[in-house]
Amino acid sequence: MPIHKLADGPITITVAQVETVQGNFGPQVKFTAEDGTSVYVNELPATKQLARLNLTMDDVVGKAIHLEQVKKNGTTFTNMALAGAGMTDSPRAAAPVVSAAPKQTIAELAGIYSECVSYAMATLGAKCEEAGIPVDAAAIQSAAATLFIKGTR
């Protein structure tokens, strides 16, 4: 049975089985997909994410869920969401496995970031100028970074 590590990228699965197991990093929740792929999530984040979705470990069986890791301020978080539109909650429906996006070149990323800076200046910069609020480079950089992060996920 293959194991998908969230550090390798997000995944969407239809849960066939879920159980608490003792892993290399303490208690973990093992989500097993219909195709036999297993995803391990530390117990505390898994139970918090399930509670946020109003699900229990029993309720999640048969549901299509999306699991991913995100990094914020140097800390890694595990996020779960019910799979988007077009997915069924039927336990017999196969959910597609979503792999990490292919890596972009530095030149491609620079082009995207440049476009984000232009939009940040045109929106934030123009609005602040209209309101008489001084704008500095840090504000434009922050707005551009927000657009860049959202656009490249």
pLDDT digits (tens, 9 = 90+) for 1-11: 689 999 899 99
Q: Is residue 97 over pLDDT 70?
A: no
Q: Is residue 93 over pLDDT 50?
A: no
pTM: 0.54
pLDDT (0 to 100) of residue 72: 86
The predicted-structure confidence for 100-141, as pLDDT tens digits, reads as follows 556 788 888 889 989 999 988 888 888 888 889 888 888 889
The domain locations on the chain are 6-82, 106-152
Three-state secondary structure readout of the chain: CCECCHHHCCEEEEEEEEEEEEECCEEEEEEEECCCCEEEEEHHHHHHHHHHCCCCCCCCCCCEEEEEEEEECCEEEEEEEECCCCCCCCCCCCCCCCCCCCCCCHHHHHHHHHHHHHHHHHHHHHHHHHHCCCCCHHHHHHHHHHHHHHHHC
Q: What is the percent of the chain where pLDDT is above 90?
A: 39
